[in-house]
Amino acid sequence: MNMTFRTTPPATENRIARSFAETAKSYMEHGGERKYLQNILPHLGDRLLTEIFPFDVRQLADELYPTQTNATKNRCVVTPVRAVVYHGYDRGWGPSTRIKNFKQERPRRKKAASQAWLDAFARQCGKDRLPHLAALILFMSQTGARVSEAVALKWREVDLAGRTVLLVKTKTDQNSIRFLTDQLISRLYELSRDADPDELVFRYKNRHSVNERISAVCKRSGISYKPSHTCGRHAFANNTLAMGVDVKSVMDAGGWRSAAVFLGTYANPRNAGRIVADKHNLYQYDNEL
């Protein structure tokens, strides 16, 4: 049997080699991220794509960020260089060089604020006459709002009669409605007296000022410090799940879209094995069948 095989076409030899700087310029013109490239270009800009090797990239990351974590080195050097190199490959300007990340240690998960922690914090805020801070933390921990959304909330977006608030243009670029508990209604009602519709509900302008206040209150109360995300959105996820609410309802109420993110980052059940065993104790089986 006569068989013919298609031969591989010869590699194009008349392509002009491109530098990293030229490729980066094209990459940014086509929508690529430019944030970290400004620090990289002085070191790799004149090199041709064929002259850039993985070892050199990781060495550059060590030089630019000697004391930072591997996660920072990956984010600020390895990832942007890799993106430019792949863009050059897409355009036929260079090879598809595989550049591996630095190995990263898994970050230690911070324990979300428990109901007992929230109670102690709110009590200390009462002693310190910080009603806006107490209301802010309870708002985040009972609605799942992010601190950026909470500090941006204005009184015109609060409907005390309807027991809801409107979070305008959240992280997901969509407005989001959150439902208020009786305790939040009571606290917000007290804060709303003589308030202007365009006034910020909680009076804080950014998470840094919020975290500074939280730290001070924690010291006076003798409880462990938990930043706004840990005692807010993270606490909402864990405490609501502990109440027996199903995962889908918690995600919808708190504005999560990705089950992978929610389960992998936010859902950290306490003493899961004991809880499950106690649930199974509800059913006793007769050994004699």
33 pLDDT more than 60? yes
> How do the domains of the chain map onto residue ranges?
20-90, 115-270
pLDDT in tens, 59-114: 999 999 999 989 899 999 999 999 999 999 999 999 999 999 999 877 676 789 99
Share of the chain above pLDDT 90, in %: 74
pLDDT, residue 110, reads 76
Dihedral sign computed on CA atoms, order 16, 17, 19, 24: positive
In whole angstroms, give the CA distance from residue 228 to residue 217. Answer: 12
Query: Taking a C-beta distance cutoff of 8 angstroms, is the pair 183, 138 a contact?
Result: yes
pLDDT at 128: 97
Q: What are phi and psi of 207, to 5 degrees?
A: -70, -25
Q: Higher pLDDT residue, 262 or 13?
A: 262
Q: How far is CA 94 from CA 9, 47, 58, 166, in A?
A: 18, 12, 19, 50
Query: 120 with 154: CB under 8 angstroms?
Result: no
Contact status, residue 263 vs residue 247, Cβ threshold 8 Å = yes
Report the distance separating Cα 154 and Cα 141, nearest Å. 18
Domain 115-270 has CATH 1.10.443.10: yes
- Cα separation, 223 vs 189, in Å, equals 28
| Nearest to 165, CA basis, from 183, 149, 178 | 178
CA-angle at 115, arms to 109 and 119, nearest 5°: 120
Burial (Cβ within 10 Å: 0-12, 13-18, ≥19) of residue 160? middle
168-199 pLDDT, tens per residue?
Answer: 876 666 789 999 999 999 999 999 998 999 99
DSSP H helical segments within 11-78, as ranges? Answer: 20-29, 37-44, 54-64, 70-73
